């Protein structure tokens, strides 16, 4: 099937909805795990278990991983910007802010991606995208009642999650520049293997992974959900969406993740968003719609 930016099959919509629930669930899983485990240990467990699940799949479907130095240099960079930095910042941020709010802030990743890729001269920063970035900035500011500088640790949590979103933006640029021609499953498996090495070194050097031995069954269930569902299985669905409908349509899932994350945080963790956070969420989603552009083109065509 030729990817289409104007018509999304119902099967792809189903995969996008499933992906939004799975990725939205990652914030719920983290919200449970942080009660027993520190951020570095959570991220280490996430990438190690996810890599262990994806590696056999890669060997079965594609064969051995790439062996050339250039590919692995590129994959190491991707692991840092796509896994190590953002996973650690988001989990640390979730020790200070609600999971639903963390998901909303992470939804700004495409805004950073557009700005960073444009700054690198790879894509023009057209007026619509500039408007989308500005609207997104306003949305993030409104999350904290008109300023992203809120009260104490909550402000730090917001800034950490914004840092994670920016790191994802750098990761998209890195992949665009360095990983041309690398199979997507190889990117995912390779970056998780590299992230596993990096996070294991960091966790054993700076923290105490033995806390995993004392973690509750709920925390272990959350870790398994985070790694196997929200990482390994999510990547498989992600690649199917890209193959069926093109990479641009995956942006739509970013708009859906906060909805599922907020709903799960409310039902399971008892979290809520206040009025300003709800308004900020709506404005951030509007910013993504403006940057994506397809809804605006449809309205104009009518």
Which has the higher per-residue pLDDT, 51 or 11? 51
Q: Output the pTM of the full model.
A: 0.84
pLDDT band at residue 245 under the 50/70/90 scheme = low
pLDDT surpasses 90 at 128 = no
User: What integer pLDDT is reported at residue 172 of this predicted model?
Assistant: 79
Query: For residues 234 and 270, what is the distance between their CA atoms, to the nearest angstrom?
Result: 25
User: What integer pLDDT is reported at residue 4 of this predicted model?
Assistant: 44
> What's the chain's length in residues?
302
User: What integer pLDDT is reported at residue 139 of this predicted model?
Assistant: 80
- The region of weakest confidence among 156-165, 201-210, 212-221, 265-274 is 265-274
- The region of weakest confidence among 30-44, 84-98, 174-188, 257-271 is 174-188
For the chain, state the CA radius of gyration. Answer: 19
DSSP 8-state code for residue 37:
S
Q: What is the mean pLDDT of the chain?
A: 84
pLDDT surpasses 80 at 153 = no
User: What integer is the mean pLDDT of 107-116?
Assistant: 81
DSSP 8-state code for residue 207:
S
H helices of the chain, where?
A: 10-33, 39-61, 69-79, 85-93, 99-106, 109-119, 127-142, 152-178, 184-206, 211-214, 217-224, 234-245, 251-268, 275-292, 294-301
Q: Which residues contact 39 (CB under 8 A, 6 or more apart)?
A: 88, 91, 92, 95
Query: For residues 225 and 83, what is the distance between their CA atoms, to the nearest angstrom?
Result: 17
User: What integer pLDDT is reported at residue 143 of this predicted model?
Assistant: 67
Dmax (CA) of the chain: 60
Angle at 242 between CA 240 and CA 248, to 5 degrees: 150
Query: For residues 173 and 163, what is the distance between their CA atoms, to the nearest angstrom?
Result: 15
- Would you tell me how many other CB atoms lie within 10 Å of the CB of residue 149? 12
User: What integer pLDDT is reported at residue 144 of this predicted model?
Assistant: 57
């Amino acid at each position: 099937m030729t990817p289409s930016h104007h018509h999304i099959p119902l099967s792809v919509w189903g995969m996008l909805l499933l992906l939004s629930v799975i990725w939205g669930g990652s914030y719920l899983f983290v919200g449970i795990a942080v009660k027993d485990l520190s951020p570095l240990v959570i991220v280490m467990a996430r990438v190690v278990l996810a890599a262990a699940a994806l590696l056999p799949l890669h060997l079965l479907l594609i064969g051995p991983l790439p062996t050339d130095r250039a590919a692995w240099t590129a994959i190491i960079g991707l692991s840092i910007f796509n896994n190590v930095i953002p996973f650690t910042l988001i989990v640390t941020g979730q020790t200070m802010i609600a999971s639903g709010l963390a998901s909303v802030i992470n939804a700004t990743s495409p805004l950073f991606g557009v700005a960073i890729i444009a700054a690198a001269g790879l894509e023009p920063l057209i007026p619509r995208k500039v408007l989308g970035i500005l609207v997104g900035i306003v949305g993030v500011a409104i999350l904290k009642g008109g300023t992203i500088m809120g009260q104490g640790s909550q402000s730090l949590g917001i800034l950490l999650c914004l840092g994670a979103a920016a790191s994802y933006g750098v990761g998209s640029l890195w992949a665009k520049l360095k990983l041309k021609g690398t199979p997507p499953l190889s990117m995912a498996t390779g970056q998780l293997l590299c992230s596993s090495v990096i996070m294991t070194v960091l966790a054993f050097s700076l923290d105490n992974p033995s806390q995993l031995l004392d973690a509750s069954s709920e925390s272990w269930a959350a870790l398994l959900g985070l790694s196997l569902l929200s990482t390994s299985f999510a990547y498989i669905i992600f690649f199917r969406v890209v193959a069926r409908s093109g990479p641009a349509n995956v942006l739509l899932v970013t708009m859906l993740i906060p909805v599922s994350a907020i709903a799960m945080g409310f039902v399971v963790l008892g979290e809520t968003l206040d009025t300003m956070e709800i308004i900020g969420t709506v404005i951030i989603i509007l910013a993504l719609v403006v940057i994506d552009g397809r809804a605006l083109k449809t309205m104009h065509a009518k």
